[in-house]
């Protein structure tokens, strides 16, 4: 009789799948085997209505109500809720406090949260906490998460304290969420302490994305770049529902990686983002700009440029410039020149375009065409300071270092103490073998910017490389490392000055520390090989020099070392 009424309530024709669902539901109720039939069928809106109406036929039955709540928990019941389901939830709310079925009560709580009845859900959970001491920790955990989702930080803190009184089993959850609380309030010192205690850096996919998000912000604000990168990366990797609002985290992660010279990883994370948002042209352009700095070859770069152009036919000048560079690096000078001039014709007023053409013609060692580029820049952009800088750059790029230094000297009379000209003069002097000029230029730069880490490092390295003023060189590099302790190039410089001072074991340690940060620099491997050789570690030294050779190090110098 009950079966007939239930089917009559629905009315209309049913599919065979729906009929099977109804049969399972009704039979399980009649035989009191409620959970032998998990709701694993693809239910429809009609079946949703049937389940709700069936409960209303016998509102006093907890068994039927619990089956409906089980159904609600495992199936996406359509929202907004129908009047039938609103009535079912009202019945559940009244029956909840007299039940003795924790699983059913949990499903009722979840249903209240799903429909936005957060206050009711909290009251129900607090009731369960008092009556279920063996499940108190898990129930408090739900209250903490509910409080965070509602922005009720004081309540979250209160429930976390109660969790700590219950058991030590929730130490990671407690510490990570305390860190999150302090991070939300920008108390970075305390947040950092709790995140370190939580050990979430060893999590990969099991920890909530919010922990990684706030852990990353905390480490970043505390200057712990390694942990910030790790947390941000895991946030991006483990977040299965990335949204455009997460772009700021991706952008920060990419910035930190590129600062460390970890271009391959930066490119990969930008690619992961594009898996979610293939039409994000800003990210696609950023990835293209980093590809030349990664291990990806220029052929792959050009393929990605073409893919970009298929999404965005109105190609910008920077993409044309990048395309031109891809051809010059793959030995196709005619195509490189074509796209270089095309970029220039489209963007006559952009200095970057002229820089690209200079690079192309310097690569081809065509001084005449490079000089024409400078004249065009003067015509379209005027005889500005930025245009004037193209000339010394031309000679530097074309490896006429003496001339580059002379032009820098000439321009410095017109633009005294110009930082770029002094830097180019220092580098040109170094390449031309005019070490004293280079040292003097760096000393002038440090007068302008005494705290500049790059200038401190470069002067220190130059002095060490020439075996002069070694203690002074060591001091310069130490100051640079105080400002950027995780800069692999600075660690290499420090290792080099230690090597020159005869502190071989310390030098070896510094080189290996630098390699942890970046392991693709041939100079770093060559230096490590030198210090190993000095310690009589011949085979190790030769293996390291071989690696330097494979990475594109100085072939002539490394071959001589390997032939020892």
Q: List the one residue out of 336, 338, 368, 341 whose CA is nearest residue 354.
A: 341
The span from the CA of 134 to the CA of 166, in Å, is: 10
Compute the mean pLDDT over every residue in the chain, rounded to the nearest whole number. Answer: 85
308 contacts 270 by C-beta, under 8 angstroms: no
Unique residue bearing structure tokens 């030769």: 542
| Section 18-26 average pLDDT | 53
Name which of 28-42, 155-169, 301-315, 395-409 the model is least confident about.
Answer: 28-42
Whole-Å CA distances, 524 to 32, 473, 513, 532, 548: 73, 18, 11, 12, 8
Label residue 28 by pLDDT band (50, 70, 90). low
For the chain, percent of residues with pLDDT exceeding 70: 89
553 contacts 525 by C-beta, under 8 angstroms: yes
pLDDT tens, 88-131? 888 888 888 888 888 888 888 988 888 888 898 899 989 998 88
Label residue 75 by pLDDT band (50, 70, 90). low
Label residue 11 by pLDDT band (50, 70, 90). very low
| Section 457-484 average pLDDT | 95
pLDDT given for residue 6 in this prediction = 38
pLDDT given for residue 33 in this prediction = 39
Query: Is residue 3 scored above 70 in pLDDT?
Result: no
Query: Is residue 150 scored above 60 in pLDDT?
Result: yes
Other beta carbons less than 10 A from residue 283's beta carbon = 21
273 contacts 242 by C-beta, under 8 angstroms: yes
Label residue 48 by pLDDT band (50, 70, 90). low
| Section 453-480 average pLDDT | 96
Label residue 309 by pLDDT band (50, 70, 90). confident
525 contacts 509 by C-beta, under 8 angstroms: no
53 contacts 68 by C-beta, under 8 angstroms: no
pLDDT given for residue 25 in this prediction = 57
Unique residue bearing structure tokens 């706030």: 214
The span from the CA of 97 to the CA of 344, in Å, is: 76
The span from the CA of 499 to the CA of 530, in Å, is: 9
pLDDT tens, 271-284? 888 888 888 888 88
Greater model confidence, 231 or 301: 231
Label residue 334 by pLDDT band (50, 70, 90). confident
pLDDT given for residue 526 in this prediction = 96
Whole-Å CA distances, 195 to 88, 192, 527, 560: 43, 5, 37, 51
pLDDT given for residue 38 in this prediction = 42
Query: Is residue 4 scored above 50 in pLDDT?
Result: no
pLDDT tens, 492-533? 999 999 999 999 999 999 999 999 988 889 999 999 999 999
pLDDT given for residue 35 in this prediction = 42
Whether omega before 70 lies within 30 degrees of 0, making that bond cis, reads: no
| Section 475-479 average pLDDT | 97
The span from the CA of 170 to the CA of 175, in Å, is: 9
Torsion, Cα 549 555 558 562, to 10 degrees, reads 80
Question: Could you tell me the two tokens for 295?
Answer: 């291990």
pLDDT given for residue 34 in this prediction = 40
């Amino acid at each position: 009789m009950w079966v007939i009424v239930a089917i009559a309530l629905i009315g209309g024709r049913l599919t065979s799948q729906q009929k099977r669902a109804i049969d399972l539901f009704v039979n399980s109720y009649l035989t009191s085997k409620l959970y032998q039939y998990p709701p694993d069928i693809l239910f429809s809106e009609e079946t949703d209505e049937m389940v709700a109406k069936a409960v209303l036929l016998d509102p006093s039955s907890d068994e039927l109500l619990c089956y409906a709540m089980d159904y609600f928990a495992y199936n996406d019941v359509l929202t907004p809720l129908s009047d039938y389901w609103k009535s079912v939830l009202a019945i559940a709310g009244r029956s909840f406090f007299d039940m003795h079925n924790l699983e059913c009560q949990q499903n009722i709580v979840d249903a209240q949260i799903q429909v936005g009845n957060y206050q009711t859900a909290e009251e129900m959970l607090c009731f369960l906490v008092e009556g279920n001491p063996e499940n108190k920790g898990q129930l408090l955990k739900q209250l903490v998460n509910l409080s965070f989702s509602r922005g009720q930080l004081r309540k979250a803190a209160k429930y976390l304290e109660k969790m700590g009184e219950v058991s030590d089993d929730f130490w990671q959850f407690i510490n990570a969420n305390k860190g999150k609380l302090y991070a939300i309030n920008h108390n970075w010192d305390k947040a950092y302490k709790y995140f370190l205690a939580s050990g979430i850096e060893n999590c990969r996919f099991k920890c909530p994305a919010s922990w990684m998000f706030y852990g990353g912000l905390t480490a970043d604000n505390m200057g712990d770049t390694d942990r910030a990168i790790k947390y941000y990366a895991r946030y991006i990797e483990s977040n299965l529902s990335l949204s455009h609002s997460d772009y700021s985290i991706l952008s920060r992660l990419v910035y930190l990686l590129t600062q460390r010279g970890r271009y391959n990883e930066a490119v990969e994370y930008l690619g992961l983002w594009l898996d979610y948002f293939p039409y994000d042209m800003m990210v696609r352009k950023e990835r293209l700009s980093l590809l030349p700095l990664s291990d990806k070859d220029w052929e792959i770069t050009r393929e990605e440029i073409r893919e970009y152009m298929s999404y965005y036919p109105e190609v910008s000048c920077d993409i044309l410039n990048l395309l031109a560079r891809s051809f010059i690096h793959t030995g196709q000078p005619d195509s490189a020149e074509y796209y270089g001039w095309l970029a220039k014709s489209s963007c006559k007023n952009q200095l970057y375009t002229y820089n690209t053409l200079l690079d192309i013609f310097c690569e081809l060692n065509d001084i005449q065409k490079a000089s024409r580029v400078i004249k065009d820049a003067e015509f379209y952009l005027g005889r500005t300071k930025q245009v004037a800088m193209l000339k010394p750059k031309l000679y530097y790029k074309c490896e006429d270092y003496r001339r580059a230094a002379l032009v820098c000297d000439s321009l410095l009379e017109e633009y005294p103490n110009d930082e770029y000209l002094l830097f180019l003069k220092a580098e040109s002097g170094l390449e031309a073998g005019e070490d004293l000029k280079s040292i003097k230029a760096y000393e002038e730069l440090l007068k302008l910017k005494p705290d500049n880490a790059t200038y401190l490092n470069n002067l220190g390295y130059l002095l060490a490389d020439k075996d002069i003023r070694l203690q002074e060189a060591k001091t310069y590099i130490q100051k640079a490392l105080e400002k950027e302790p995780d800069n692999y190039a600075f660690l290499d410089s420090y290792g080099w000055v230690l090597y020159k001072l005869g502190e071989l074991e310390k030098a070896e340690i510094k080189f290996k520390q630098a390699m942890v940060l970046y392991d693709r620099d041939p100079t770093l491997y060559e230096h490590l090989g030198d210090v190993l050789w000095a310690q009589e570690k011949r085979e190790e030294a030769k293996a390291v020099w071989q690696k330097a050779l494979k990475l594109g190090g100085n072939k002539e110098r490394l071959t001589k070392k390997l032939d020892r």
